[in-house]
């Protein structure tokens, strides 16, 4: 009896150690490089918009008309930022003041605080996956699934952003776990918990509402012995639906009452789901479907209506989860759907539904697949554990280790390389610092290369004056003192070749900040649809994040005449005179 008790205690300690070890790896991968791009405030799309709305809430000036994300996410960011800021001030790590005052004096701190919430949510998701599988008596699956989520480049990358994707992913994963609990032992209390998890997922980001699918499936699985209407409308499911709706409405009340907010939401849905009709009476709101942007990859669009599915398999999963997981995924989903326990089955159901919905959208972004990472990892975990269980008992630990390493080797290496680059000074930051040191106060600076949004442009330091010029214009030395050009394979940074050719004699290169390794190195792979100036593969082809930034001095009229008198001067790359 004592030996049995001691053995159980030892096994429990091993399980705790495994969860703690994998969670620690997840924590390191999500916090390393968390200050990517800062103090540049436009290093990642949507972050500035979220913080601007957060500051409006802090000033009690939020009217609810902004609806790109649910209002609950903005409220949560405000409460989180105020709480963390108060703690930092208590420890003497932050200046006095509230969120609104910090937005004026030290905005980069608010970005770091907001990203910390995403990093913690991502780490908590790894722990939740492992604990849920261990409680289902699937310890080997917990190791495989937890390790895959912890190292997934998709999940690691999005845990670095002040965006709701990873927070929604945590809510979705919690909904799957709650749905499995309903399947095993249905009750009204468990239905309420499951509904709250669905509401939380949707409150983080609208498409989190798909978390209702595994909860519905779990409630129906738990009601298989019921008769009449209780079979298809079990009371726990009705409670779950009510709690989900109540949570969403209570946390984003203005979303349903503000007409501008509703119109914006419908326009966003039209982009993601082309069949959705936008509000014709949206007034001054922009037609989001007409916003210019990069074209999807030709190889994906060649698949027609299946292009989204091809993209997410060949790009999102290939680089975000690795080739091994991508190849194993269909077999794991089929096995989990037919043979796994409630948790594995619901994870497979959600993965299939999520992939079907996301793949249908013509908007091809790998981060749309991030919420599926934990559920797919659970399905792969139970599938791999079932295969290892067929080995002789003495070979199972080695077999489990080999399977786990085979699955995580590629995503782990990619995540490490990604974090190392993210922790390096961005070219946009380096260019801004150079300008602050070398350019005189009051200098007139034109930035070229920006296409629609300014995510690739370095920010001008205080004291310099921004001047607008056309993408192909001749630079007028009477209006412009310096030119900053940013160029990159991504759509958002593109200098017109004719601009440099036409202005070759008017510009003198002062400095260049290039992210690319010497010619002949590995070719980096970027996601062309996303304004993320870090690759997802081919990391050896870059040395730091950001576009290529080149700074020029504009030759004054006297220098121009002198330059024209020397027609034999050799020209550098892209028509820029050599010094």
Coil, strand, or helix at residue 16?
A: helix
Whether the CB-CB separation of 210 and 372 falls below 8 Å is answered with no
* Residue 523 DSSP SS3: coil
Residue keyed to tokens 């008596």: 137
Q: DSSP string spanning 337-364? A: HHHS-HHHHHHHHHHHHHHHHHHHSS--
- Both 431 and 417 in one domain: the answer is no
440 with 310, same domain: the answer is no
534 closest CA partner among 526, 494, 156: 526
**Residue 538 to residue 184: CA distance in whole angstroms:** 45
470 secondary structure, DSSP code = -
Using DSSP bridges, classify how beta strands 465-467 and 482-487 pair: parallel, antiparallel or unpaired: unpaired
Q: Residues 125-147, buried b or exposed e (16+ Cβ, 10 A)?
A: bbbbbbbbbbebebbbbbbbbbb
Of 422, 448, 479, the residue at which a domain comes to its end is 422
3-state secondary structure 190-248: HHHHHHHHHHHHHHHCHHHHHHHHHHHHHHHHHCCCCCHHHHCCCHHHHHHHHHHHHHH
List of residues 6+ apart from 11 with CB closer than 8 A: none
Same-domain check for residues 26 and 85: yes
Same domain, 78 and 178: yes
Structural domain that includes position 54: 2-422
The 8-class DSSP code of residue 551 comes to E
Per-position pLDDT tens, the chain of length 579: 565 676 667 777 888 899 999 999 999 999 999 999 999 998 888 899 999 999 999 999 888 888 889 999 999 999 999 999 999 999 999 889 899 999 999 999 999 999 999 999 999 999 999 999 999 889 899 999 999 999 999 999 999 999 999 999 999 999 999 999 999 999 999 999 999 999 999 999 999 999 999 999 999 998 887 777 777 889 999 999 999 999 999 999 988 887 777 776 776 666 555 555 544 444 444 444 455 677 788 889 889 889 999 999 999 999 999 999 999 999 999 999 998 899 999 999 999 999 999 998 888 999 999 999 999 999 999 999 999 999 999 999 999 999 999 999 999 999 999 999 999 999 999 999 999 999 999 999 999 999 888 889 999 999 999 999 888 888 999 999 999 999 999 999 999 888 888 898 899 999 999 999 987 678 999 998 899 999 999 999 999 999 999 999 999 876 555 544 444 443 333 333 333
DSSP reduced 3-state for 14: helix
Report whether 55 contacts 85 (CB < 8 A).
no
| One domain, residues 390 and 435 | no
Q: What share of the chain is helix, strand, coil (3-state, %, to 5)?
A: 60, 5, 30
Residues 96 and 201 in one domain: yes
The last residue of one of the domains, among 389, 422, 455, is: 422
């Amino acid at each position: 009896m004592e030996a049995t008790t001691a053995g159980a205690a030892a096994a429990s300690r091993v399980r705790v150690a495994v969860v703690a070890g994998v969670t620690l790896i997840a924590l390191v991968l999500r916090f390393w490089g968390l200050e990517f791009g800062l103090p540049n405030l436009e290093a990642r799309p949507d972050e500035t918009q979220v913080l601007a709305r957060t500051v409006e809430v802090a000033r009690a000036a939020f009217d609810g008309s902004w609806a790109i994300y649910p209002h609950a996410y903005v409220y949560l960011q405000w409460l989180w930022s105020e709480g963390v800021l108060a703690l930092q001030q208590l420890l003497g790590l932050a200046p006095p003041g509230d969120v609104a005052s910090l937005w004026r004096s030290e905005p980069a701190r608010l970005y770091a605080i907001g990203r910390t919430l995403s990093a913690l949510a991502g780490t908590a998701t790894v722990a939740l996956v492992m604990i849920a599988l261990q409680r289902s008596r699937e310890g080997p699956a917990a190791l495989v699934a937890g390790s895959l989520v912890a190292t997934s480049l998709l999940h690691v990358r999005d845990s670095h952003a002040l965006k709701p994707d990873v927070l929604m992913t945590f809510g979705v994963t919690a909904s799957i776990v709650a749905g499995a609990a309903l399947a095993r032992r249905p009750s009204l209390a468990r239905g309420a918990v499951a509904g709250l998890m669905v509401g939380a997922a949707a409150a983080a980001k609208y498409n989190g509402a798909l978390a209702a699918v595994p909860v519905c499936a779990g409630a129906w699985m738990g009601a298989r012995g019921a008769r009449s209407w209780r079979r298809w409308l079990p009371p726990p499911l009705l409670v779950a639906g009510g709690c989900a709706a109540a949570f969403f409405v209570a946390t984003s009340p203005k979303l349903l009452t503000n007409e501008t907010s509703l119109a914006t939401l419908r326009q966003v849905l039209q982009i993601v789901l082309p069949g959705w009709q936008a509000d014709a009476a949206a007034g001054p709101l922009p037609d989001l479907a007409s916003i210019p942007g990069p074209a999807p990859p030709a190889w994906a669009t060649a698949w027609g209506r299946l292009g989204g599915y091809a993209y997410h398999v060949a790009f999102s999963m290939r680089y975000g989860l690795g080739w091994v997981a991508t190849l194993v995924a269909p077999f794991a989903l089929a096995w989990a759907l037919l043979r796994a326990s409630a948790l594995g089955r619901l994870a497979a159901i959600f993965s299939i539904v999520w992939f079907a919905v996301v793949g249908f959208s013509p908007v091809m972004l790998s981060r749309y697949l991030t919420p599926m990472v934990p559920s797919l990892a659970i399905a792969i975990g139970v599938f791999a554990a079932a295969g290892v269980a067929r080995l002789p008992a003495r070979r199972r630990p080695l077999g489990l280790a080999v399977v786990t390493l085979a699955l995580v080797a590629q995503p782990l290496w990619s995540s490490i390389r990604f974090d190392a680059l993210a922790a390096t000074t961005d070219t946009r930051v380096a260019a801004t610092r150079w300008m602050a040191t070398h350019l005189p106060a009051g200098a007139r600076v034109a930035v070229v290369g920006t296409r629609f949004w300014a995510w690739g442009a370095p920010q001008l330091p205080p004291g310099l004056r921004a001047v607008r010029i056309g993408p192909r214009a001749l630079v007028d030395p009477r209006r412009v003192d310096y030119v900053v050009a940013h160029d990159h394979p991504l759509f958002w940074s593109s200098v017109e070749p004719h601009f440099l050719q036409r202005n070759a004699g008017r510009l003198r290169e002062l400095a260049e900040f290039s992210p690319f390794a010497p010619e002949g190195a590995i070719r980096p792979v970027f996601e062309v649809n996303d304004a993320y100036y870090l690759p997802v593969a081919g990391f050896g082809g870059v040395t730091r994040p950001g576009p290529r930034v080149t700074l020029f001095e504009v030759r004054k009229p006297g220098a121009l005449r002198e330059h024209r008198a020397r027609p034999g001067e050799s020209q550098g790359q892209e028509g820029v005179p050599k010094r």
